[in-house]
Structure formats: C-alpha cells, structure tokens
Amino acid sequence: MKRHVTRACSAVLLTGGMLAPAAAPAAPPAKSARKPAPKKTAAVPAKGAAVSERTDPAAVWPVSLARLAGRYVFVQVATPGGLWETVRTPEAATVRQVSLNEIPAALRERLQKAEVVISDLKLPSSVEASMRTSPSKRGSLRFYSETAMGKLSYKGLPGIGGQDQDPGEFSGQVMFRLDHQSHSNPSPTGVLFVRQREEATWGVAIIDYGDLNATTIPEPEAPEPPNGAAKKGEPAEKHDHEGIPVMANARILRTGGEIFSYFEWTEPTAEGERVIRGCVRLVRLPDGADRLPQPMRPMPQPVRPMPRT
C-alpha cells in the first residue's frame, strides 16, 4: 500500500546542511590496577563532535512517551484559515479553503468525535539523545529518539496511519516511536522556508515538534521443524515480521498535552473526486474529566496612562 506521510526534517531545513548520524555513546575507559588514571585536560571538540558524551535526554526533548499517556479529544481545526478542499474533474482541479461547517456531515461528525488514547506503556523505554555542534557553529543540532511498547486506540482520524484507504480507526498493542530533530538557534531564513512549506497544513506544529509514530507488534517467528526441514508438499508459513504502520502523521510539541494529527478524506462526486485534508488539534483530558472546559473569554485590560518623563 502506498504511504502518505507528511513529514519534514526541520533541523536540515533550518540549517541548510546535511544531518550527520548521531554518535554512539563513548565506552568508558578500561580500569587499570597498576597505573593511576591520567589527569584529564580540556580539549577542543572536533567538528561535529557531541557537545556532551552523556546528553541528558530531557535537555534535548522534555516530553517523553511516559508523559504522553492519556486520552486526547478533538478541540479545533489546526490548519490556519480552514481545511483544504480539492475538487478534481477531467478538465481541472479546484482548490479552496473551507470551514468545519462546510465539509460533508459524515466527516465533520467523525472529526468532532475524534480521540486518541495512549495507555499501558511498558516502561522504562529505550531512549537515545545527543547534541552536535552545527556546521555553522551557531548552535547545536539536537537528536532524540524513544521507543516503547504500549496500547494505542484512536478513531475519527482518516489518514493518520499514512496508508491508502486509511479508515482512521485502530485499537491494539503497538510499538511507539518518538523522534525529534531540531536546531537550538535556527536561522530566520530557515524558519521562513519551513513556514512557507508546511504552516498551511500543520499550523503551529512545524518548527520545534516531535514525530509520534506507532507500528503493530510483529508476529513471532514460527519455530523451525525438526531437522530444519518442512514436510514435503507443505508450504512455508508466512509471518509479518516488520509490523504495520498505524500512526505516521501525528506530531506533538515541546509543551506536551496535545497531539496534532493530519487527516485526509476522499469521496467521489458527480464530476470527479473531492479530497479534504488538513490538521486537527487534540488535547488531553484532565484525570476524571469527560470533556474539556469551554474556551476562556479574554478579559479587557484597563488602559493605564503613560508615565511622565
């Protein structure tokens, strides 16, 4: 099946350079019983060397998988200006932005009832984190990757799995993966380039975000038959050893507490085909709550006279 994953490497775009693979943590020096350890002296790090041999993962990305556990519900459309509607006919394709009230009732109802539940995480998770000096010497390239098994359930989000004909519903055991790459001091031109390319779809989840992915748990390999050979005439049993992606278009922010999910809806029309795509924001419910509070109305601020100089 063809995958539709909307993803970009912000660290590459913000620096204009290529990302080198994260360095493996250096092994501790071997202990010697005869000679004392030599006195440590400061050394100038080589180009592209890690800023710290033991990088604190929370310093690179503070929102771990453990902090993501909970139930998230639909709050609003996250695509600025409304969702994107494309109507294709044999003659041409028309693109426009539409509000939530203008999309088909079936899709609107699914989105308004959309939710994601992350639970039963098998902790501790596996975490890798590192920081490297950027090629421009203007800051650090930050890398974070975390995996853990757990349970994922979601509904009302067609397209979140990145597959053709994605129904937008799933429930089962998965392997979660959280990835983050960024620059500690992004250039203004790099930020503008990313905004021009992705902000129209993802909204705020474009600069400093983490990719939240999940795949099904691969089936265990079948034990080999005696003598390492199957019986004559019996076909070899096939198993799925890679897992199937079930979440490939979801992002989180450094602040945590919310998930941004891409979705895509396709339906036939009398003239051709209608596609509606965009991004929605889901917020985690507080413990014991069944709904989120209503948006607060901003209070007017009193006008204070300027102080005399």
The predicted-structure confidence for 257-278, as pLDDT tens digits, reads as follows 999 999 999 999 888 999 999 9
Q: Is residue 234 very low, low, confident or very high in pLDDT (cuts 50, 70, 90)? A: low
Would you say residue 147 has pLDDT above 70? yes
**pLDDT for position 64:** 96
Q: Which of 16-25, 116-125, 293-302 has the lowest mean pLDDT?
A: 16-25
More confident: 180 or 229: 180
Residue 195: per-residue pLDDT: 93
- 232-249 as b/e, with b when 16 or more CB fall inside 10 Å? eeeeeeeeeeeeebbbbb
Q: Which residue has the higher pLDDT, 309 or 125?
A: 125
Q: What confidence tens digit (pLDDT) does each residue in 182-192 have?
A: 999 999 999 99
Among 123, 156, 149, 126, smallest CA distance to 57 is for 126
Asked if the model's pLDDT at residue 134 lies above 80, the reply is yes
Of 25-39, 133-147, 214-228, least confident by mean pLDDT is 25-39
In this prediction, residue 137 has a pLDDT band, given cuts at 50, 70 and 90, of confident
Q: How far apart are CA 46 and CA 117, in angstroms?
A: 44
Of the listed ranges 8-12, 25-29, 172-176, the one predicted with least confidence: 25-29
Confidence at residue 209, expressed as pLDDT on a 0 to 100 scale: 96
Closest among 123, 124, 146 to 57, alpha carbons compared:
146
Higher pLDDT: 306 or 121? It is: 121
Q: Which residue has the tokens 């890690």?
A: 50
Cβ–Cβ contacts within 10 Å for residue 272, how many? 13
State what percent of residues in the chain have pLDDT above 90: 59
Looking at the chain, the whole-number percentage of residues with pLDDT higher than 70 is 76
**Backbone phi, psi, residue 105, to 5°:** -60, -35
Give the pLDDT confidence score for residue 39 in this predicted structure. 42
Can you give the pLDDT at residue 30?
41
Cα–Cα distances in Å, from 119 out to 170, 171, 173, 278? 14, 11, 10, 26
pLDDT in tens, 41-95: 433 333 433 334 578 999 999 999 999 999 999 999 999 999 999 999 989 999 9
Closest CA to 145 of 180, 175, 171, 115: 180
- The terminus-to-terminus CA distance of the chain in angstroms comes to 70
Whether the pLDDT of residue 127 is over 50: the answer is yes
Number of residues that make up the chain: 309
